[in-house]
Structure 1
Amino acid sequence: MIRSMLKWPGGKSRVIPELLPHLPKADCLVEPFVGGASVFLNTDYRRYILADINPDLIRLYREAKNNPDLLISITRLLFEKGNCKEEYLRNRKLFNSADSKILASVRRAALFLYLNRHGYNGVVRYNQKGNYNIPFGKHKSNPYFPEKEIRCFAEKANDTKALFLCCSFHNTIEIITGADAVIYCDPPYLPASETANFTQYHTEPFTERHHRQLATELLAVNRKHGTPIVISNSDTEITREIYHDFRLHEISVQRSVSTDASNRQKAKEIIGVLNICEGCGRAGGGCCPDCGPAARLRKRHCRTGRGSVHNGISGNAR
């Protein structure tokens, strides 16, 4: 297992063995919610388009790809004297200050990695003003310095010529132009309970409305281009209703965020694979006889026991 340079609650490192069998072969993997980049690091596509709405995250990945030695050098200095509350708050204040906007890109990327590794449980969160507001993590020993992970990331990003985009999921999905890509979406999860609400999308909540928009746009790009689509999310009633066009596979994952480390129980999650017609690769869009009205009529006749409709249709309707 290749690890992320970041601590990332909700990252996919724990479920890679369950996820990989559901990711189809293609030339390019597109991730509108790249997060900790564990899927990128543990798959073997020739090309990658990796996007996120968080500019600090994308800046870090670009610097890790283009300037790994300098990023490692600057970040190491921050780690060497930064494992105390006073130093953490000083660096967080610098990161949030107006002056930080004129810092060299690699310096700000190093600060982001430092804050992520020294803050509470690796949570990444901003207030509505765009300020990073995670408290100090109170580590008993110095946090792990991810030099090996940065170098591994840089090597793969350069070998695959990975493209890192800072944009919303809407804009990322719009760039898809053909079926030689696979879209994998791991959006902020729908909360499984009132106390498990980790649904932030940079500075704003990622709401049920956003999930419905995402599901609609994913169906639209599949029907237009035949692009295979896989999603991950929490296993809740509303998740199953929103993503009802997907074939859902249940998995259990150890929680990584809790105030009580001894009480981090397994959570139910789902991996969803978009149901498609075997004839045209579309999600029931009427793009070929197999997924058109006649095929649906055939399914209705079969369900009512009236026999099949003999109309020259081959294949299965999905």
Structure 2
Amino acid sequence: MPDLLPILPKADCLVEPFVGGASVFLNTEYRRYILGDINPDLINLYRQIARWPDVVIDYARYLFKAYGDKDGYQWVRDDFNDRAHDILSSRNVFENGPDTGKIVRAAQFLYLNRHGYNGVVRYNQQGGYNVPFGRHKTPPYFPEEQIRLFSEKANDTKAIFVCCDFQSTLKIMIGSDAVIYCDPPYLPASDTANFTQYHTAPFGIKEHRQLAAALLDINRLTGSPVILSNSDTPATREIYHSFNFQEISVNRSVSANAITRGAASEVIGILKVATSTGICE
């Protein structure tokens, strides 16, 4: 984050097609935000926190207190998976109040993320959440203050949370005074580090090429600068060859593989405003 923030250009709106943990949203001061992700559970969590922070806090706090061990985690995960389709496809008939099903799912998702193995979010091909229980020296921290701050900022900026692929998120861009920041699944640094599942679908070389083409198109169409984060690999530099790269070293704390955690080489790519000839400045 310290390397990224000075690079992000000033603008009215920040567009993030891969919002993930929303750390950029929380650490920047744009007037408007369009935040997208293909994971419906993540977007549901953000939407419920934005509108009903107190209700989410109440449900989540109960889960943290009552289901702190491995058996409790397994029960919450099974219930989360059993009710997935019904909850996320439901419609709230009480428009002026919270949808209990979606509130419960948001609280469960937060609980699973905090209690699961090393903070990983992972699903099988059938859409079932399959992260095992994590080993914690102390009980996971309940982020009540962070929930309230997130809700306050989401409402102050009228943040738009959309559940869709990156192509659709880019099409939602409102006006031209916007910056696009993309933090897609990272290209593996080696054949043994191929951890590029994005929700229930793979995100590999093909998808990265599609993203690179889409970012070039939107840059030429709107003139919006584009910033990209990814691993520093030959494939990254080849696929995103139109970007100017800045190398950084980061400490990766979330990974499914203990070998890949720790210091890692990454790049921040910068695609500035396109010129009339189509060549970026």
Q: TM-score, normalised by structure 1?
A: 0.81
1:196 equivalent to 2:193? Answer yes
1:61 equivalent to 2:61? Answer no
**SS of 1:198 mapped into structure 2:** coil
Q: What is the match of residue 222 of structure 1?
A: 219
Q: Which amino acid aligns with 1:240?
A: R
Select the structure of larger CA radius of gyration: 1
- By how many angstroms is 1:141 displaced? 1.8
Q: What is the match of residue 22 of structure 2?
A: 37
Q: Which amino acid aligns with 2:18?
A: F
- Conserved 8 A contact 2:38-2:163: yes
- Conserved 8 A contact 1:83-1:139: no
C-alpha separation between the residues in 1 aligned to 2:73 and 2:140?
12
1:156 equivalent to 2:187? Answer no
- Conserved 8 A contact 2:19-2:183: yes
- By how many angstroms is 1:286 displaced? 1.7
1:89 equivalent to 2:80? Answer no
Q: How does 1:1-318 map to 2 (within 5 A)?
A: 16-98=1-83, 101-102=86-87, 104-176=101-173, 178-257=175-254, 264-274=261-271, 276=272, 281-282=273-274, 286=277, 318=281
- Identity, % of aligned positions: 62
- Conserved 8 A contact 2:253-2:262: no
Q: Which amino acid aligns with 1:252?
A: S
Identify which range, 129-138 or 167-176, moves more after superposition: 167-176
Query: Structure 1 pair 222/154, CA: closer, same or farther in 2 (3 Å)?
Result: same
Q: Which amino acid aligns with 2:60?
A: T
- Which structure carries more relative contact order (alpha carbon 8 Å, separation 6+)? 2
Q: Which amino acid aligns with 1:39?
A: V
- By how many angstroms is 1:225 displaced? 1.0
- By how many angstroms is 1:195 displaced? 3.2
Q: Which amino acid aligns with 1:50?
A: L
Q: Which amino acid aligns with 1:66?
A: R
- Conserved 8 A contact 2:50-2:150: yes
Aligned CA RMSD, in angstroms, stands at 1.9
Query: Structure 1 pair 134/215, CA: closer, same or farther in 2 (3 Å)?
Result: same
- By how many angstroms is 1:99 displaced? 7.0
- By how many angstroms is 1:259 displaced? 7.2
- By how many angstroms is 1:147 displaced? 0.3
C-alpha separation between the residues in 1 aligned to 2:113 and 2:62?
15
Unaligned ranges ≥5, structure 2 = 88-99
- Conserved 8 A contact 2:186-2:231: yes
**SS of 1:251 mapped into structure 2:** strand
- Conserved 8 A contact 2:193-2:260: no
Query: Structure 1 pair 177/73, CA: closer, same or farther in 2 (3 Å)?
Result: closer
C-alpha separation between the residues in 1 aligned to 2:154 and 2:83?
31
C-alpha separation between the residues in 2 aligned to 1:77 and 1:54?
24
Q: TM-score, normalised by structure 2?
A: 0.91
C-alpha separation between the residues in 1 aligned to 2:84 and 2:216?
43
Q: Which amino acid aligns with 1:206?
A: F
Q: Residues 22-45 of structure 1, C-alpha deviation per residue, up to 9 Å, x if partnerless? A: 111110000000000000000000
